[in-house]
């Protein structure tokens, strides 16, 4: 018998395979109520990010078909190698105009945008100051950059300023970057953007904001929190996504022309990936028109969110500091959040439980994600069900 076929080489117990950790880790997750499984949406949608219901809007669907008929199915390559259609540039100009900025650059998703931009802007020796509750794609982008990360307490400007003051850059060429979500994806609260602009200027830092959950929902023309607070021109870059309120797919960053040029040359997730296909681009163009032309959708959405929060809070339910269409229902343990989600499913509602590691331990919750196209009556019944489960002591 050769040593290669010996079952117990290097002291490994014979029954262990190199993959045995897979089964062990899955079992550990299940034991801690932390296991996640894919579920097809069923029932009234209170969990997707299709906030304005645009994924089924006739104009968006028409835009998709028209683009496919004109340009075909795939883009054919990366932007720098044959995949740069006139439609990409038209979409970028449209998005830059929506956001009141000089330029825009498309990415294939928000995840790829954050990872590509952060790793292009920062490197070893640089500093990135990041809100503790920023989206995972921001965290991963900073890790990839190898910059030093300072994770400041959630929306705590004193903590951020303390870090900026205590840790001057080691060399004159070292860069500093502050990065934040504008609407936080799991808490539904809003970053203090004016203060962030002030601190960025004061301490010589670039400022990057992620408007994934704000675009289409906040601001007079739906351009996001930067627009609502009048600071669009004061942030270095603003990322937006097209798979949430726009109802389609993809992402973009708005910035000045020089920064766009820099990213085309340095953001690896942009350079080395096939560009978005015509169908997606046609859908985005139409969605921007709907966002500009039908402001009543976002007004209705935010009114509903305010009403839902009020009712839940009156019943004694903690909705944190939500000010948006994302309303957390804080329940504590993983098992309780799961039970609530099941209880709502029995009544015909799709509301997902969110557990660690997505949220901190002890803050497992339902993530109520409101949607302008859900019937008023259904929403009322969903809120009643949550309050009933809460009062029954589930």
> What does the DSSP 8-state code read for residue 236?
S
Reduced to 3 states, what is the DSSP secondary structure of residue 100? Answer: coil
Closest separation between CB of residue 189 and ligand PMP, Å? 13
User: How far is 245 from 352, CA to CA, in rounded Å?
Assistant: 18
Please identify, using beta-carbon distances, which residue of 130 and 185 lies nearer to ligand PMP.
Answer: 185
**Is residue 31 classed exposed, middle or buried when 0-12, 13-18 and 19+ CB atoms within 10 A define those classes?**
exposed
Residues near 379 by beta carbon (within 8 Å), at least 6 away in sequence: 46, 304, 308, 370
Nearer to ligand PMP, 210 or 227 (CB): 210
Q: How far is CA 97 from the centre of its chain?
A: 22
- Give residue number: closest CB to ligand PMP: 110
CB of 276 to ligand PMP, least distance (A): 11
List of residues 6+ apart from 383 with CB closer than 8 A? 308, 311, 312
> Looking at the annotation, which residues are catalytic?
185, 213, 244
Interface contacts to ligand PMP, rule CB under 6 A:
109-111, 114, 135, 137, 181, 185, 210, 212-213, 241, 243, 251
- Pick between residue 150 and residue 184 the one whose CB is nearest to ligand PMP: 184
Indicate the residue among 109 and 385 with the shorter CB distance to ligand PMP. 109
- The two counts, helices (H) then strands (E), for the chain are 14, 12
Residues paired with 353 in a beta bridge: 366
Cis peptide before 357 (omega within 30 of 0): yes
Residue nearer to ligand PMP on the CB measure, 55 or 109:
109
List, as one string, the DSSP characters of 260-292.
HHHHHHH-HHHHTSPPPPHHHHHHHHHHHHHHH
In the complex, least distance from residue 387 CB atom to ligand PMP, rounded to whole angstroms: 27
Close Cβ partners of 52 (under 8 Å, ≥ 6 residues apart): 216, 217, 245, 247, 290, 291, 297, 298, 301, 371, 372, 373
Taking the complex as a whole, the smallest distance from the CB of residue 191 to ligand PMP amounts, in Å, to 11
Shortest separation between residue 118's beta carbon and ligand PMP, angstroms: 12
């Amino acid at each position: 018998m050769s040593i290669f076929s010996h079952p117990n080489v290097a002291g490994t117990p014979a029954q262990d395979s190199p993959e045995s950790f897979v089964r062990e880790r899955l079992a550990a997750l299940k034991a801690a109520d932390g296991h996640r499984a894919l579920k097809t949406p069923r029932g009234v949608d209170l969990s997707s990010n299709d906030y304005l219901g645009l994924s089924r809007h006739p104009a968006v669907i028409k835009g998709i078909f028209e683009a496919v008929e004109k340009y075909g199915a795939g883009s054919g390559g990366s932007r720098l190698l044959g995949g740069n259609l006139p439609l990409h540039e038209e979409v970028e100009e449209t998005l830059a105009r929506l956001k009141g900025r000089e330029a825009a650059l498309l990415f294939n998703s928000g995840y790829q945008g954050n990872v590509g931009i952060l790793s292009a802007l920062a490197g070893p020796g640089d500093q990135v100051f990041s809100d503790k509750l920023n989206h995972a794609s921001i965290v991963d982008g900073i890790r990839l950059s190898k910059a030093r990360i300072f994770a400041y307490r959630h929306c705590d400007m004193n903590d951020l300023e303390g870090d900026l003051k205590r840790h001057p850059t080691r060399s004159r060429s070292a860069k500093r970057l502050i990065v934040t979500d504008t609407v936080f994806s799991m808490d539904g609260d809003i970053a203090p953007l004016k203060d962030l602009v002030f601190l960025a200027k004061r301490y010589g830092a670039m400022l990057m904001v992620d408007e994934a959950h704000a675009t289409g929902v906040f601001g007079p023309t739906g351009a996001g929190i930067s627009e609502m607070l009048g600071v669009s021109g004061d942030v270095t870059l603003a990322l937006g996504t097209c798979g949430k309120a726009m109802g389609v797919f993809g992402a973009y960053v708005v910035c000045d022309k020089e920064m766009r040029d820099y990213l085309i040359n340095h953001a690896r997730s942009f350079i080395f990936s096939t560009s978005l296909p015509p169908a997606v681009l046609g859908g985005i163009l139409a969605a921007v028109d709907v966002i500009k032309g039908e402001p009543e959708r976002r007004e209705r959405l935010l009114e509903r969110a305010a009403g839902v929060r009020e009712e839940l809070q009156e019943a004694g339910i903690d909705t944190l500091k939500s000010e948006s269409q994302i309303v957390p229902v804080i329940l504590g343990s993983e098992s309780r959040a799961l039970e609530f989600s099941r209880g709502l499913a029995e009544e015909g509602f799709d509301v997902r439980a969110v557990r660690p590691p997505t949220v901190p331990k002890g803050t497992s919750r339902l993530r109520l994600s409101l949607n302008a196209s859900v019937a008023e009556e259904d929403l009322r019944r969903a809120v009643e069900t949550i309050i009933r489960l809460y009062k029954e002591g589930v």
